[in-house]
Amino acid sequence: MPPVRLRFAPSPTGYLHIGGARTALFNWLYARHCQGSFILRIEDTDIARSSDESIQAILDSLSWLGLNWDEAPYYQSQRRKLHDEHIEKLISGGQAYACYCSPEELGQMRAQAMKEGRKPKYDGRCRELSAPKAGAAAIRFKTPPTGQTIVNDLIKGSVVFENAELDDLIIRRSDGTPTYNLAVVVDDATLEITHIIRGDDHLNNTPRQILLYQALGYTPPQFGHVPLILGPDKARLSKRHGATSVTAYRDAGYLPQAMLNYLVRLGWSCGDEEIFSIEDLIEKFSLDKVNKAAAIFDEQKLKWLNAHYINTEPAAKLAPLLLPFLENMGYTVSDMEWLAEAVKTLQPRSRTLEEMAKGAEFYLKDKLEYEPKAAAKFLTADKKEVFELLKEKLAALPSFDEQSIQAAFEDVMAELELKLKHIAQPLRVSLTGGTVSPGIFELMAVLGKDKVIERISTACQYIGA
């Protein structure tokens, strides 16, 4: 049995979207599960729409997700000679022919067929020409006029296509460029791809491609067509449902392990399990567990997963990932140990790194702005005595850790006969500007003695103003 080889073959006409990323993941996981190879091929023959920027975005997205490829990326545009050789082989074998029909003729042909209630397919008028005509010609593949082509799909099961319903496929345009179906068959065959996992929007191409494999003398690979991803409204996932590109989610502060975990659950299941490490996925992934029904994209579920990974990831690993988000907000942090301590306090309340950066802002601001309602409710005249005494106790502490801070609070509560709730929330407003924050002792330890005392003093001035 030949070694398993799978490929992901995106067109570089834009960013890698969620559906494409899931296709890449399924191919990568199956290759790794079978200890085979994962091949990346860039299908860049659409010169007008392909761009170097899109190629780089695809490479960056796959690298961010950790979907490493085993051979240097192949570029379809560099394989033109190979495509032409295979087209000539079909022509010389009598399995392809020149078609001289103009676009106008083809349009009239389609219109007449529809008027007569027939399928608007090419009528084969150039199929048996006895001599070449003048002018540029496209090359068409001679599809068998009878019989059936059966796709033994690894996900959908057996799908039968009547050859009479298939067209005489154009395999080379009149400008000399090969078409998608010809190029993809030649590339997959010559790269010895054994399995093709792709979206079920490609299913109608599959019988045509199988016929091309057979005509060229190749054994077709095994095909598996994955149902599409739909939005919450059951329509095909699009920009109106929110971000659809991998880079957009990366830039919004999602972690790659959360995105991978979520993508694999869009159409694949393993019992009731929700959380998987990459090692788990490689071990457990199989095509017989891929659902036949379309998957529904739920951004709230993705956020829930991302929050799980943010909360369980070591703070020291999250700190450098948080830096770009802080820099986008205008803050520079050089002390990574301090930032890791700040991250620890923010993890339980953050669903994305973007949320975490916003939550960290009170640590980094030179001057706080109090939320008006919070200030009116908690920064009142009766709190000034509490703040002054607390400031005195905190200033006298030899070390400024959570335990020492709590002890200072207890001294103040005992001396003024107050409970923690009478102190904590007013102090939270004075230290953060609002009423929602990490635990009061941990946030004070991260802020540090000097900044805590400075902010309490500012609150006293505000109260006294």
Q: Which residues are catalytic?
A: 239
- What separation in angstroms does the CA of 4 have from each of 39, 151, 337? 11, 19, 45
SS3 5: strand
Q: Angle CA(423)–CA(425)–CA(431) in degrees, nearest 5?
A: 100
* Beta strand pairing call for 157-162 and 148-153: antiparallel
5-8 and 222-226 strand pairing: unpaired
Residue that is written with structure tokens 């005595």 in the block: 385
CA 212, CA 190: separation in Å to the nearest integer? 13
Per-position DSSP letters for 22-83, written without gaps between them? HHHHHHHHHHHHTT-EEEEEE----TTT--HHHHHHHHHHHHHHT---SSPPEEGGGGHHHH
Tell me the C-alpha to C-alpha distance, in Å, between residue 283 and each of 88, 155, 279, 311. 44, 19, 6, 25
The torsion angle over the Cα atoms of residues 428, 434, 438 and 439, rounded to 10 degrees, is 20
419: Cα separation from own chain's centroid? 49
For tokens 């200030």, the residue is 375
Q: Helix (H, G, I), strand (E, B), or coil: what is residue 95?
A: coil
Residue type, 12: P
CA-based Rg of the chain, rounded to a whole angstrom? Answer: 32
Q: From the centroid of its chain, how far is CA 342?
A: 28
Residue with tokens 């975990």: 261
Q: Counting runs of H as helices and runs of E as strands, what totals does the chain give? A: 20, 12
Residue 3 dihedral angles phi and psi, to the nearest 5°: -60, 145
The C-alpha torsion from 457 through 459 and 464 to 465, rounded to 10°, is: 110
